A and B are shown apart, each in its own frame.
Chain A
Amino acid sequence: MYNYSTYDQQLVDQRVFQFRDQTRRFLAGELSDEQFRPLRLMNGLYIQRHAPMLRVAIPYGELSSRQLRGLASIAETYDRGFGHFTTRQNIQFNWLQLEQVPDILEELAAVQMHAIQTSGSCIRNITCDHLAGIDATEVEDPRPWCELVRQWATMHPEFLYLPRKFKIAFTGSSTDRAATMAHDIGLRLIRNNAGETGFEVLVGGGLGRTPVAAKIINAFLPKSDLLAYLEAILRVYNLNGRRDNKYKARIKILVKAVGLDVFRSQVELVFNNLDSTSLLNRTADISTIKDRFRSVFPLPLNLGVEKLEAAVHQTYSRWLDKNTLATKFGNYRSVYISLKHPDRPPGDLTAGEMRFIAQLAARYSGGLIRTTHTQNLLLPLVHESDLVRVWRALTAAKLSIANIGTVQDIICCPGLDFCSLANTTSIPIAHEIQNRFSDADELHALGDIQIKISGCMNACGHHHIGHIGILGVDKRGEEWFQITLGGRADQRLKIGERLGPAVDRKSIAGAVESLIRHYLRNRLDQGEHFLATLDRIGIDAFKEVVYG
């Protein structure tokens, strides 16, 4: 993982100082609500339903044990003892006092963390494939490039007051686990016919009220041109994006309005006029950045292979199958820690659990933890001889539920429980669905089905791109839910199709269960995926199940 340079540390320290002064001026009445709003948002601070919410950046999802302990301390000291991991690999604290936020930022800075640009109309936290650097199929590890872009985007003087928020995601793999097509800019490391690596650049993706899949604006961008090309896209957007209507202000609307070809020519005009010798050409810095990435190789503890009792063998095997993954380093596997359980709001973790995982990671995965787009955690590299011990420890902490990728592994926004924008609850819906599929054998047999729930059309729960998507809508003060089928978030991103009229609160979990049981009855065999069955028998067959 990346270790701060003196400059990086100075920057976050100065930012704390600056925000402390901004908070003081706001509380003293020297800044109006309107003036303070973009300043606090630029530092990740929202005013939510119950209290200010602080979103802390976890750049490209990498955390150290020390940092996770730091987050635990903040959860205990300033919040109600827990944090919530988001789909963009960040963590949110929901019960803070505004006056205490500068102190929280100071504690974050002490462990090389911050909340810079986790909200507001600026370039947000850079996200990345959570298997970066360990996936055997990837072209190149994208994390150093993520870090380069993070440094370029942080406090970029030209792009702090964009028309709207701006999200960038990276992958180095042909299997897209970072939803790059649902981002304002998606960057995919690819190899061309000459054997050179570069970026496929996608632009204009996003969910929200107007879901759009990003389109390819540059099929192969040399790596040395990355920052200059990003600068050109951002400048065209900053100058031409709509500012009269926030619902029409994202880059996807601009690209659609002028057309991809015109937008591309505008970008290339700016790009071709940029000074090629400028500081934007920082390819040489990549080697410096790579040097600042700490080795991730944990040494095996050589404690010997533990024997498993026959009674737990099946449970362990299921966990091994669902929650661990081979890596490109032969004797090491990645271990998922599922944060999805009927007793837990999706993505939530208590301070005690944070400390436990920090300790587990320190012992078995080189002190490294990653956050995933699906709101789970990952120990990136665990030696296979340590797997049984890790499983036992996770089981004792009630964190070994083997449901990664299953119908229980639901992406879910905070909904009406926390969010002031939400129309409906979403966490209780997730729990009801999880409870309907709590049998481990059945869960295992169902295969991978992604359910995604958003409590309003802002789509923080990514319902558009769930295999089964659920959108909460308000009808005369009552909670109703629209269902979409057939969405997907991977390299073949697709917006789901609406099944029919919204169903009411008491029917939604049952409707989802009916859809899944219909799939089970109709799939050709256990190997036919939900999306394949849907394609084969058509959405009308599923409509009948819900609407009779």
Chain B
Amino acid sequence: MDNLEFSETTITVDEWHELARNDAINELTASVLVVATDSALEFLAGPLNRVKRIVVTSGDFNDGRFFSIGRLIRLNGYGGHLTVVGNILPDQYTALRFCGFEDVLSLDDVSATRVVALDKALVLPGVVEPVTQQLEPLTATGTSQ
């Protein structure tokens, strides 16, 4: 995930924590926070809404931590754009949406990047509508619809 490029300025979780340690989070200029699935999660208690987008990165579709991290980001009140990046399977889109993600930057074998908006992905063949009754999809405000 090191070669990810965004048009906006990014900050990693380590850099975020460094700013927080120096009591300098108010000086934050980046608009995208990049969260690897093995990141320390102290950033969740910070002012997440200062960034427009949070990107959770995972190389492996089996790394189920991104589901919990997405959910925690929303449950901590994040209202911005939440994206997951990795070799994600279409079969995971529904669960991702329910965990608060809005889109997937899917990296396939030829390194082409494909953006899938999860609310539209649900109509793809073979991907069924919500298969759970205990959770409504989390919205950008972090609350149930």
Is A bound to B? Answer: yes
- CB closest chain-B residue, reference A13: B128
Q: Can you list, as one digit per residue, whether each of A276-300 has a CB less than 8 Å from chain B (1) or not (0)?
A: 0011101000000000000000000
Interface positions, chain B 21-69, Cβ under 8 Å from A, are 41, 61-65, 67-69
**Do A280 and B134 touch across chains, with their CB atoms under 8 A apart?**
yes
Please pick, from A21, A158, A280, the residue contacting B125 in the complex, using a CB distance under 8 A: A21
**Do A158 and B71 touch across chains, with their CB atoms under 8 A apart?**
yes
How far is B75's CA from A158's CA once the two chains are assembled, in angstroms? 13
How far is B92's CA from A31's CA once the two chains are assembled, in angstroms? 14
Interface assignment of A154: CB less than 8 Å from any CB of chain B: yes
CB distance from A538 to the nearest CB of B (A): 47
Interface assignment of B1: CB less than 8 Å from any CB of chain A: no
Interface assignment of A162: CB less than 8 Å from any CB of chain B: yes
- CB closest chain-B residue, reference A7: B133
Interface assignment of A160: CB less than 8 Å from any CB of chain B: yes
Q: Note all chain B residues with C-beta closer than 8 A to A279.
A: 134-136, 144
**Do B91 and A22 touch across chains, with their CB atoms under 8 A apart?**
yes
Also in contact, A157 and B91, with CB within 8 A (given A14-B129, A17-B128, A121-B64): no
Please pick, from B62, B69, B131, B134, the residue contacting A161 in the complex, using a CB distance under 8 A: B62
Interface positions, chain A 32-48, Cβ under 8 Å from B, are 35, 38-39
Interface assignment of B116: CB less than 8 Å from any CB of chain A: no
Q: Note all chain A residues with C-beta closer than 8 A to B67.
A: 157-161, 238
CB distance from B59 to the nearest CB of A (A): 11
Most buried by B among A121, A155, A158: A158
Interface positions, chain A 137-188, Cβ under 8 Å from B, are 151-152, 154-163
Interface assignment of A15: CB less than 8 Å from any CB of chain B: yes
Q: Note all chain A residues with C-beta closer than 8 A to B72.
A: 235
Interface positions, chain B 109-145, Cβ under 8 Å from A, are 125-129, 131-136, 144
The number of chain B residues with a CB under 8 A from chain A is 32
**Do A156 and B132 touch across chains, with their CB atoms under 8 A apart?**
yes
How far is B127's CA from A282's CA once the two chains are assembled, in angstroms? 28
Interface assignment of B85: CB less than 8 Å from any CB of chain A: no
CB distance from A3 to the nearest CB of B (A): 16
Q: Note all chain B residues with C-beta closer than 8 A to A24.
A: 126
**Do A157 and B99 touch across chains, with their CB atoms under 8 A apart?**
yes
Q: Note all chain B residues with C-beta closer than 8 A to A162.
A: 64
Interface assignment of A258: CB less than 8 Å from any CB of chain B: no
CB distance from B91 to the nearest CB of A (A): 6
Interface assignment of A18: CB less than 8 Å from any CB of chain B: yes
Interface assignment of A11: CB less than 8 Å from any CB of chain B: yes
Q: 7 tightest A-B contacts by CB?
A: A161-B64, A21-B126, A157-B95, A157-B98, A155-B131, A14-B128, A158-B67
Interface assignment of A310: CB less than 8 Å from any CB of chain B: no
Also in contact, A14 and B135, with CB within 8 A (given A158-B71, A238-B64, A239-B65): no
Q: Note all chain B residues with C-beta closer than 8 A to A475.
A: none
Q: Give the interface size bracket for A toward B.
A: 35 or more
Q: Note all chain A residues with C-beta closer than 8 A to B83.
A: none
Q: Note all chain A residues with C-beta closer than 8 A to B96.
A: 157
CB distance from A250 to the nearest CB of B (A): 15
Q: Can you list, as one digit per residue, whether each of A36-64 has a CB less than 8 Å from chain B (1) or not (0)?
A: 00110000000000000000000000000
Q: Note all chain A residues with C-beta closer than 8 A to B95.
A: 155, 157-158, 160
CB distance from A449 to the nearest CB of B (A): 42
How far is B132's CA from A11's CA once the two chains are assembled, in angstroms? 8
CB distance from A376 to the nearest CB of B (A): 33
Also in contact, A238 and B98, with CB within 8 A (given A151-B133, A154-B132, A156-B134): no
**Do B91 and A39 touch across chains, with their CB atoms under 8 A apart?**
yes
How far is B63's CA from A243's CA once the two chains are assembled, in angstroms? 8
CB distance from B41 to the nearest CB of A (A): 7
How far is B109's CA from A137's CA once the two chains are assembled, in angstroms? 59
A-B contact pairs, 21 of them (CB 8 A): A11-B131, A14-B129, A15-B131, A18-B91, A22-B91, A22-B126, A31-B89, A38-B62, A39-B89, A39-B91, A155-B131, A157-B95, A158-B64, A161-B61, A162-B64, A235-B68, A235-B72, A239-B65, A243-B63, A243-B65, A279-B136
Interface assignment of A25: CB less than 8 Å from any CB of chain B: yes
Q: Note all chain A residues with C-beta closer than 8 A to B63.
A: 161, 243
How far is B110's CA from A194's CA once the two chains are assembled, in angstroms? 64
CB distance from A159 to the nearest CB of B (A): 7
**Do B64 and A14 touch across chains, with their CB atoms under 8 A apart?**
no
Please pick, from B68, B125, B128, B129, the residue contacting A238 in the complex, using a CB distance under 8 A: B68
Please pick, from A35, A155, A163, the residue contacting B132 in the complex, using a CB distance under 8 A: A155
Q: Note all chain A residues with C-beta closer than 8 A to B61.
A: 35, 38, 161
How far is B127's CA from A157's CA once the two chains are assembled, in angstroms? 14
CB distance from B144 to the nearest CB of A (A): 8
CB distance from B35 to the nearest CB of A (A): 12
**Do B68 and A158 touch across chains, with their CB atoms under 8 A apart?**
yes
Interface positions, chain A 428-448, Cβ under 8 Å from B, are none
How far is B92's CA from A35's CA once the two chains are assembled, in angstroms? 11
How far is B133's CA from A152's CA once the two chains are assembled, in angstroms? 8
- CB closest chain-A residue, reference B63: A243
